[in-house]
Amino acid sequence: MTEIDDTRARRNVAVLVAAQAILGAQMPMIFVIGGLAGGMLAWNPCLATLPISFIVFGSMTTAPWLSPLMQKRGRQFGFFLGALAGTAGALLAAAGLYIGSFGVLLAGSYLTGIYMSAQGFYRFAATDTASDGYRPKAISYVMAGGLLAAIIGPQLNKLVQDAMVVPFLGTYLAVAALNLVGCMLFFALDLPKGTRGQPVVDAGPARSRRELLRDPRIVVAIICGMVAYALMNLVMTSTPLAVVGCGFTTNNANDIVSAHVLAMYVPSFFTGHLIARFGVERIIGAGMLILAAAGVVALSGVTLTNFFVALVLLGLGWNFGFIGATSMLAGAHAATERGTVQGMNDMIVFGMVTVASLASGGLMNCAGGTAEQGWTAVNIAMVPFLILAVGSLIWLTVQDRRVARAG
């Protein structure tokens, strides 16, 4: 078997890191103000986080068709499509704020979800031209591009969120500009152009979705990725509401979300190396334990220190859990199954994230009489999901040992 030269992969990773930094900056911006903007326009406070839920719902419903489309037409096509949808979504959301329409704001949020879905495939694109040995590192490096996004997004948001008479209108206009500028990076990608009209060489028959979901590693990768992302979204969505509700400022919320997003992506510089050294199962397990620690810190108080520490741990736990799950999934399927597996994975993951973001607003604003009671309810809700993820890892370990004994 010919050894793969990773020169091409390293170039693609550099481009994807830049895209993650520039285009990805819009996500912390929107997540900071999404619930607050929703609270301004929603007719019921329980629906305040619905704009964020619509973003995640848009991502969930986009993944099943976007992934096969990129396999046929190429990654660049899908990435350009995502950035254009992000531009349209931001402009539509801005219009919703300007005319005071909650429905228009939600429609713009759904289009933003198409961008979010496309961004989710950056990590998979990093593996398309990478060798087996470089694959976990490529995923980690691309995810590390979020480090710059964590700095650019919240700091830019501070400058633009109150720049206009209508609160947060400037944020959405700045997001539209980020999409238009950032999409130019995709011209520099050197990725396969797709499979349409091209024969697949040395490829066995692709498994059906039912057969794929019988593969223990695929099932556990999906479960752990789902839990890591859903819990991160559950808590982060409520954080600005909790911070402001507990008497702190919107700028405090920006700083806390910035610290959280930094914690999500800073570890990416070494997560791939840790996976290569200790194994993906141990790294995912460590991620789940750190997520549990985040919940314990959040439940212990509502000072700024508690918010900062809990959100930093939340970001770190997401990094280990989600990158580990992505790496496990990337090594569990054939090239001919890529579009099906990745689309199915992101549909399931973001389906649960949609549920989590919907539950976040209800738990935060309607589970008690105070912001502190709502924040407590949000963090207690993490427990059953963590049990599910840890249980699935234990089950996979047992399955692997049985296979090893049988072999």
47-86: pLDDT as tens digits? 888 898 899 889 888 878 888 888 888 888 999 999 999 9
The answer to which of 190-199, 243-252, 263-272, 282-291 has the lowest mean pLDDT is 190-199
Find where tokens 């963590």 sit.
386
Which tens digit of pLDDT belongs to each residue from 263-297? 987 887 788 889 988 999 999 999 999 999 999 99
pLDDT at 201 over 70: no
Longest CA pairwise span in the chain (Å):
69
pLDDT at 194 over 80: no
Amino acid letter for position 177? A
Which tens digit of pLDDT belongs to each residue from 211-223? 888 888 999 999 9
Q: Give me 66's structure tokens.
A: 């976007």
Mean pLDDT of 29-56: 86
Torsional class of 168: left (φ above 0), alpha (ψ -120 to 50), beta (otherwise): left
Q: End-to-end distance of the chain based on CA atoms, in angstroms?
A: 24
Domain ranges of the chain: 7-193+207-406
pLDDT confidence tier of residue 407, bands split at 50, 70 and 90: low
Maximum average pLDDT range among 63-72, 130-139, 239-248 = 239-248
Q: Please give the residue that has the higher pLDDT: either 47 or 386.
A: 386
How much is the pLDDT for 4? 61
Give the CATH number of domain 7-193+207-406; options: 3.30.1330.10, 1.20.1250.20, 3.40.50.720, 3.40.50.1980: 1.20.1250.20
Identify whether the C-beta of residue 23 lies closer than 8 Å to the C-beta of residue 178: yes
Helix, strand, coil share (%) of the chain residues, nearest 5 = 80, 0, 20
Find where tokens 């990745």 sit.
342
Which tens digit of pLDDT belongs to each residue from 322-352? 989 988 998 887 777 877 887 788 888 888 8
Mean pLDDT of 314-318: 96
Maximum average pLDDT range among 111-115, 125-129, 161-165 = 111-115
